[in-house]
Chain A
Amino acid sequence: MAGAAASSSFINNLGRIYAIYTGSFAAFVVFLGILEWFGVPSRILGYLFIFLTIGVYALIGVLSATAEVSEYYVAGRVVPAFYNGMATGADWMSAASFIGMAGSLYFGGYDGLAFVLGWTGGYVLVGILMAPYLRKFGQFTVPDFFGARYGGHTARALAVVVLIIASFTYVVAQIVGVGIITARFLDMNFQVACFVGLIGILVCSMLGGMKAVTWTQVAQYIILIIAYLIPVIVMSAKLTGVPIPQLMYGVALERIQGFEQTLGIARSHVTPFISVLPGAAPVSSWNGALNFFALILCLMVGTASLPHILMRYFTTPSVKQARMSVGWSLFFIFLLYFTAPAYAAFAKLEVYQTLVNSQMANLPAWVASWGRPGLALVGACDLVDAAANAARFPLCAGVRGNGDGILQFAELRLHTDAIVLATPEIAGLPYVITGLVAAGGLAAALSTADGLLLAIANALSHDVYYKMIDPNADTKRRLIISRVLLGIVAIIAAYTAGTLGADILFLVSWAFSIAASGLFAGLVLGIWWKRCGNAAGVWGIVAGFGVCMFFLIFTEFYGPAFKNALGWLIPMDIVPIRGRQVAYPWGINNISVGIFGIPAGFLAQWLVGRSAQPASPEMQDFIDSIRVPSGAVRLAPGMAAKE
């Protein structure tokens, strides 16, 4: 019992342990700042930041090594609400949130806020519809719920398929994020960087499964939130005199609108609902509104369906704490998301105020340092000769300026990632803060990738191997299989990321749509509609997932043919994007393809549930038991009484 005693003293001292950790990290940053002051080159600082943080995660991963099934799959169910909230925050906030979102808000203005709303509001659904009941259900994975609730292997296997397709799409996007950051700060080839990142991911999760991932994610959350807040707080103090960016960027918005008029910028930062169709005027439109709300719905419902998030609520000590930890999760996520629009506004103001219409000879230093070949996040394209522009700033490829020696608005190019990555330098902070931001971005990408890989590997090892292929496998064998599968899935994902390596936001949005379409109806109705029978659950997944994938594949890869075949029934626009001719049915961007799948899943489950055989009285009893927090965890009727 020495292990149990050690782990309970660990849980009792969590506050102290993480306070010491945070203090040491701050001291480390200060130490690097001193090194920088003494003239240590920035590349060395970058290496120190990235390898030392990964080293700390690896150390936590090794210390959390476990040979116990419940620790490997659900962290021993001892994670207090507050810390589970932090771990969920890190699990949730990915490279796309940390580095990409502020940039999307910079360019999208109001319409970009669909991501801010969509990636927060879903937690309300998790809290009221699912988390407490899944905790009381008391098993290991989300497909476990489908298998138990809808009578066995068919439902379980379908849930595994949806889980793997959604999570794999998502994890590829995360490894791309890890690769971009590593490549940029270590001057490394992108494909190689993806595999270096992979090592960072596996050291956290391989030995300790969910237990290791949980305690690393808490550590990663602390780094990522510090790294995200510091630059924008300084920026706010610099531009407005008050270091509360979330309150003060209203002033920036007002000044941005002034600049939009004087500079003649047609697309206003605060104008809502601009159409997503090509060539549309920058004014509010029905198409823009439709896409805004469709995206919010898909992201929110997807939140409440993604297994790597739902399984975090399997790890709390009680139902009561599961509910509370949804609140803490959202609070910790909120801290970053309500700051992102401030990043966008301050960066925009700084660009309009000091960059646009300045002399090419006197551009701020950050333009050259972030614009040079190899980084290519900014482009000042004043020269008449496009090739000469591109030689200095690769982002200027094909852009011709007027050669008057002044940088006009039309001659400026920015990459979305520039907003977060360059803000420390724009705010005049030393390079050490830029390194801190890189470490934060890496923490965000690694933590999400870990959660996703674990969800996939657990589904394969627990649901497919143990539950469906070899129910007699002993603990040791199951854990070995889990670890081997984790490694294999990670390598496949890194390989895919290395070959794909592009814009990642659409991949992330697809993952949400797929999970929402395939799993949401089955989860909600499984808990809230007692009489719903087995066949209905199965048809709910098939219809939701089927309709979603049908629209996704045909709109993305066979756009023109799809329009020819179904154009008489569904009005469709063809939009050239991602190097393809993509069909937009009813003008809806296919990142929101869940808008077709979610209702299809509910409709099918409802129709079949009304006509087919209702759930057995034993099943209805079982559902009564998961609706009430107290009482022992019960097994669903028909499930083998093991464990």
Chain B
Amino acid sequence: MAEKTLTSTQRDEYWKRTSSLMWTILVLWLIFSFVIHFFVIQLNSIRILGFPLGFYMAAQGSLIVFVILCFWNATAQDKIDNEFGVSDE
């Protein structure tokens, strides 16, 4: 693999994009790990298919979001890598 070296401005720009992706996902992680479950009592008054919504979010909803976040991180970061030509594959 021919090594591609980024100029220092390119490198800063690459890291800025990477960081902002990280922060976006981190905030969503924070919401679905903690914030949404603060409201479990209110959400439990809504029922879907028998599930009280607050219970559902902790048992399943947040988990689905976590899986999506992980795959989204992988594909979005790939896109940034390709744009800067720094993918290692």
Contacts and interface: CB of A to CB of B under 8 A. Distances in A.
Contacts of A528: 19
Contacts of A247: 49
- For the residues of A in contact with B, the DSSP-based class is helix
Contacts of B67: 327, 330-331, 334
B89 A123 contact: no
Contacts of B1: 630
Contacts of A430: none
Of B14, B22, B81, most buried by chain A (CB within 10 Å of CB) is B81
Contacts of A132: 77
Contacts of A321: 89
Contact of A113 (B32, B48, B59): B59
Of B40, B56, B59, most buried by chain A (CB within 10 Å of CB) is B59
Given A117-B58, A330-B66, A631 B3 contact: yes
Contact of B52 (A116, A136, A270, A292): A270
B26 A128 contact: yes
B25 A121 contact: no
Given A250-B49, A330-B66, A127 B73 contact: yes
Contacts of B34: 293, 296-297
Contacts of A318: 88-89
A129 B69 CA distance: 13
Given A116-B59, A632-B3, A124 B14 contact: no
A628 B50 contact: no
B66 A121 contact: yes
A284 interface: yes
B2 to A, nearest CB: 9
Number of chain B interface residues as a range:
35 or more
Contacts of A401: none
A326 B63 contact: no
A629 interface: yes
A532 to B, nearest CB: 15
Given A117-B62, A253-B50, A319-B88, A628 B55 contact: no
Contact of A628 (B40, B51, B62, B86): B86
Contacts of A113: 55, 58-59
Contacts of A630: 1, 3-4, 81, 85-88
A221 interface: no
B75 to A, nearest CB: 8
A338 interface: yes
B49 A120 contact: no
Contact of A629 (B11, B58, B88): B88
Contacts of A292: 37
A629 B66 contact: no
A110 B50 contact: no
Contacts of B38: 289
A246 B60 contact: yes
Contacts of B22: 128-129
Contact of B41 (A252, A272, A631): A272
A470 to B, nearest CB: 33
A121 B32 contact: yes
Contacts of B69: 124, 127
Interface in A233-290: 246-247, 249-254, 270, 272-273, 284, 289
A457 B63 CA distance: 33
Given A320-B88, A630-B87, A270 B55 contact: yes
Interface string A317-335: 0111101101101110010
Of B3, B33, B86, most buried by chain A (CB within 10 Å of CB) is B33
Contact of B78 (A254, A270, A320): A320
- For the residues of B in contact with A, the DSSP-based class is helix
A346 B77 CA distance: 41
Contacts of A117: 33, 37, 58, 62-63
Contacts of A128: 21-22, 25-26, 29, 73
Nearest to B1: A630
Interface string B5-44: 1100001001100110110011001001110011011001
Contacts of A123: 66, 70
A122 to B, nearest CB: 9
B87 to A, nearest CB: 6
A121 B52 contact: no
Interface in A336-361: 337-338, 341
Of A117, A125, A246, A334, most buried by chain B (CB within 10 Å of CB) is A117
A326 B48 contact: no
Nearest to A85: B70
Contacts of A628: 6, 11, 14, 86
A404 interface: no
B74 A250 contact: no
Contacts of B74: 127, 320, 323-324, 326-327
A624 interface: yes
A640 B49 CA distance: 61
Of A132, A326, A327, most buried by chain B (CB within 10 Å of CB) is A327
A627 interface: yes
A270 B53 CA distance: 10
Interface string A487-524: 00000000000000000000000000000000000000
A195 B87 CA distance: 47
A330 B87 contact: no
Contact of B56 (A250, A330, A337): A250
A337 B21 CA distance: 27
Given A128-B25, A253-B50, A320-B81, A334 B59 contact: no
Contacts of B44: 270, 272
Interface string A619-639: 000001001111110000000
Given A121-B32, A318-B89, A631-B3, A624 B11 contact: yes
Interface in A96-141: 110, 113, 116-117, 120-121, 123-125, 127-129, 132, 136
10 contacts: A110-B55, A120-B63, A121-B29, A124-B69, A128-B25, A132-B77, A250-B48, A270-B44, A272-B40, A327-B74
Interface of A: 110, 113, 116-117, 120-121, 123-125, 127-129, 132, 136, 246-247, 249-254, 270, 272-273, 284, 289, 292-293, 296-297, 300, 318-321, 323-324, 326-327, 329-331, 334, 337-338, 341, 528, 624, 627-632
Give 5 closest A-B pairs by Cβ, nearest first.
A250-B50, A250-B51, A327-B70, A327-B71, A254-B50
